[in-house]
Amino acid sequence: MSQASLHVDIQDNQLLLNFSGELDLYTITKLQNQVDALEISQMKTLEINLDKVSYLDTSAAIFINNLKSQCEKKGIKVFLFIKQEDIKSTLSLVQSISTAPLSTTTKTPAQFLESFGKSIYEYYLGVVSFFNFLGNLFATKLHYLRSVKNIRYKEIAFDIHESGIKALPIIALTTFLIGLVVAYQSAYQLKIYGANIFLVDMLGISILRELAPLITAIVIAGRSGSAFTAQIGAMKITEELDAMRTMGFDPYIFLVIPRILALMIVMPILIFVADIMGILGGMLIANIDLQITTVQFLERFTQVVAIKHFYIGILKGPFFAFLIATIAIYRGLMVKNDTQSIGFNTTKSVVESIFAVIVCDALFSIAFTNLGI
């Protein structure tokens, strides 16, 4: 490796910079200090000689190009002397990138309206496509449920295991921690007013009625919903769906409906487990932080928490499951013939499923409140 060096020669307002050796990020930083110490602005001509340079990386090329540009802006004539073709190409590449015009075009009002209209139209097409999917789904489901023989019990059992039973550990842990957090934060405020025992009321109603169903649905949307989208999308890319149609098998009967029914069946079970784990988490904090024994907690729980709150939470399960499964499968069917589309639609599936679940939960809350339930 040859040592990089810079020889400076000044003659009658003419500056000559002779570079030699290998110019890279490390060496050019040292040589830059020598160049900065020179009063280049007082010169009329600058000659940069790179004939003895054996290697030039992009950082050194950027330095040379910037030095040349700055001097030319000040009215100084700059001359470059280069023998090696590879160094010439590196400098040319850096110069072409630095002089490339930046895109500074701004949208006119007409262009903005055009893009806005296209976005609205694309959204409209997406809504129409989703309702078309729902129409096919309900038409198929009515035909599917017409006879018990049409029900695909093995597929439903398999999907219950894959999308529900395997999700039990993460749901149990998540709701247990939620119960811990809610109880711990509430206990701090209740201790101030000496209302320790009211932790049971608040925790029982919030866990059974809202938190357990909502947290379960969000976990299922992120875990099982994304899996549905990826599975259906991969089958579409590999043309397995087309092969099924060619052989006379309806994908709705063999792929779509079993997944939806399985998730609708298993979701209340998952919510039941989430209820238990959330209450256990709150009971633990009540015992440790508020000195409420397990017996006191359970006695108060059975006295003040009505059974209707449990039923309301369980009732939400099939509705949440239907939304998650239909959106996930629809997004899987929307996958195009490229792998990037799987990731895009999987992300949209999770986001849209969680949004739909939250909206559905808000509608349930409004309806039950107005009904006095």
Query: Residue 1 pLDDT more than 60?
Result: no
CATH of 5-98, one of 1.10.3720.10, 3.40.50.10540, 1.10.287.3510, 3.30.750.24: 3.30.750.24
- Please answer whether residues 229 and 331 qualify as being in contact, where contact means their C-beta atoms are separated by less than 8 angstroms: yes
Q: Give residue 106's pLDDT.
A: 61
Q: What is the spatial distance between Cα 322 and Cα 325, in angstroms, rounded to a whole number? A: 5
Pick from 350, 352, 346: nearest CA to 332: 346
Comparing 37-41, 249-253, 290-294, the range with the smallest average pLDDT is: 37-41
Residues of the chain with CATH 3.30.750.24: 5-98
Which helix H or strand E contains 31, and what residues bound it? helix 25-36
Q: Is 86 exposed, middle or buried (0-12, 13-18, 19+ CB in 10 A)?
A: exposed
Provide mean pLDDT across the span 300-313: 90
- CA angle 336–355–370, rounded 5-degree value: 145
**C-alpha 197 chain-centroid distance:** 41
User: Does residue 60 contact residue 24 with C-beta atoms inside 8 Å?
Assistant: yes
Determine what percent of the chain is predicted with pLDDT higher than 70: 97
- pLDDT for 117: 87
Amino acid of residue 252: Y
Longest dimension (CA), the chain: 103
- CB contact at 8 A, 373 and 316: no
Q: How far apart are CA 201 and CA 305, in angstroms?
A: 6
Which tokens belong to 315? Answer: 């009732």
pLDDT tens digits, 24-57? 888 888 888 888 878 777 788 888 888 888 888 8
Note the pLDDT of residue 111: 78
Which H helix or E strand runs over 128?
Answer: helix 109-144
- Asked whether 313 and 273 are in contact (CB, 8 A), the reply is no
What is the percentage of the chain residues whose pLDDT exceeds 90?
Answer: 31
C-alpha angle 305/308/311, rounded to 5°? 120
For 161, the token pair is 């295991």
Return the structure tokens found at 56. Answer: 């030039």
User: What is the C-alpha to C-alpha distance for residues 247 and 325, in angstroms, rounded to an integer?
Assistant: 25
Lowest mean pLDDT among 108-117, 129-138, 346-355: 108-117
Torsion, CA 361, CA 362, CA 365, CA 370, rounded to 10: -140
- Residue 109 above 50 pLDDT? yes
> Confidence band (pLDDT; 50, 70, 90) for 2?
low
* pTM check: above 0.85: no
Which residue, among 274, 80, 242, 262, has the nearest Cα to 168 in the 3D structure? 274
pLDDT in tens, 123-180: 888 888 888 888 888 887 777 777 777 778 888 899 999 888 999 999 999 999 999 9
- pLDDT band with cut points at 50, 70 and 90 for residue 236: confident
Residue 90 has pLDDT above 90, yes or no: no
Confidence class for position 102, pLDDT limits 50, 70, 90: very low
